[in-house]
């Protein structure tokens, strides 16, 4: 009789664990990334934010580029989320103040997780940017559009301290050329 009770209790516990596991899996699979981002930004208390781009680094990691602070939206953020057994979870976020007064573009370097990221605001008339480093590397950063325009580059190789940025309009005409410097030791 006692043995039977032990078996029943053990089976019940195992069943509960299996149901819980599949329950979490089901919830996580159906969790909408945009809802998760909205929730995480809400929890950060960054008021009236604009999302420029969502970049999946792999199936379980995502970078979100956004700006916040009504009405100027001059605080530019990047946030990393990771998918765990509890669903999409906050890993880290960095917010940089970048004002566009009398500037064609701004840019900062930041390391999030194991990724080096360069990013900053630029004007709406800029449709394409080319980056040429001193050692001859060339990059084409993505451009995200919302309240402002931002450019961003997720680097797989070594970051650079300065590079020439060539800005083009929709017709492929060069709008501006400028050398930007990056502090690779920020924020130390």
Partner 1 sequence: MKLSLKYKVLMIVILSVFTAFSLYYFVTKLQQEQAVTEALIDYRNITREYGLDAVYKSKEYPIEVELYPTAHTEAILERWKAISERYPELDYPKAAIEAEDWLTVEESLEDTDVLKEVVDQMYEDSTIPPEGAGASFTTLFNYIKYHQYDTQYIEEVLIDLGIEPLKETD
Q: Which residues bind partner 1 (CB under 8 A)?
A: 43-47, 69, 74-75, 79, 90, 92-97, 99, 186-187
Question: Torsion over CA of 39, 44, 46 and 48, rounded to 10 degrees?
Answer: 10
75 neighbors 95 (Cβ within 8 angstroms): yes
Q: Quick one: 90 or 168, whose CB is closer to partner 1?
A: 90
Identity of the residue, 159 or 168, whose beta carbon is nearer to partner 1 in the bound complex: 159
Q: How far is the CB of 137 from partner 1 (least distance, A)?
A: 27
Rounded to a whole number of angstroms, the minimum distance from the CB of residue 52 to partner 1 is 18
N-to-C CA span, the chain? 67
To the nearest whole angstrom, how small is the minimum distance from the Cβ of residue 116 to partner 1?
A: 15
**39 or 133, CB closer to partner 1?**
39
Task: Locate 6 and state its tokens.
Answer: 């032990």
Cα distances from 35 to residues 29, 39, 88, in angstroms, run 13, 6, 10
Taking the least distance from each CB to partner 1, the nearer of 171 and 188 is 188
Task: Please report how close the Cβ of residue 43 comes to partner 1 at its closest, in angstroms.
Answer: 6
Residues 168/183, Cβ–Cβ less than 8 Å: no
Q: Are 81 and 62 in contact (CB under 8 A)?
A: yes
Q: Which residue, 16 or 174, is less far from partner 1 as judged by CB?
A: 16
Report in angstroms how near the CB of residue 61 gets to partner 1 at its nearest: 17
Q: How many CA atoms lie within 13 A of 148 on its CB side?
A: 27
Q: Give bridge partners of residue 1 from the DSSP assignment.
A: none
């Amino acid at each position: 009789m006692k043995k039977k009770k032990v078996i029943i209790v053990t089976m019940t516990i195992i069943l509960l664990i299996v149901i819980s596991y599949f329950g979490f899996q089901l919830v996580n699979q159906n969790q909408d990334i945009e809802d998760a981002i909205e929730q995480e930004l809400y929890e950060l208390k960054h008021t009236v934010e604009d999302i420029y781009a969502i970049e999946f680094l792999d199936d379980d990691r995502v970078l979100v580029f956004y700006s916040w602070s009504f009405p100027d939206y001059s605080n530019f953020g990047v946030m990393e989320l990771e998918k765990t057994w509890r669903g999409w979870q906050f890993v880290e976020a960095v917010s940089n103040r970048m004002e566009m007064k009398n500037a064609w573009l701004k840019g900062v370097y930041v390391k999030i997780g194991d990724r080096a990221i360069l990013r900053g605001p630029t004007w709406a008339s800029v449709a394409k940017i080319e980056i040429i480093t001193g050692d001859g590397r060339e990059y084409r950063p993505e451009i995200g559009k919302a309240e402002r325009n931002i450019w961003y580059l997720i680097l797989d190789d070594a970051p650079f301290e300065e590079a020439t940025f060539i800005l083009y309009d929709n017709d492929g005409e060069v709008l501006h050329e400028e050398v930007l410097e990056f502090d690779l030791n920020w924020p130390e």
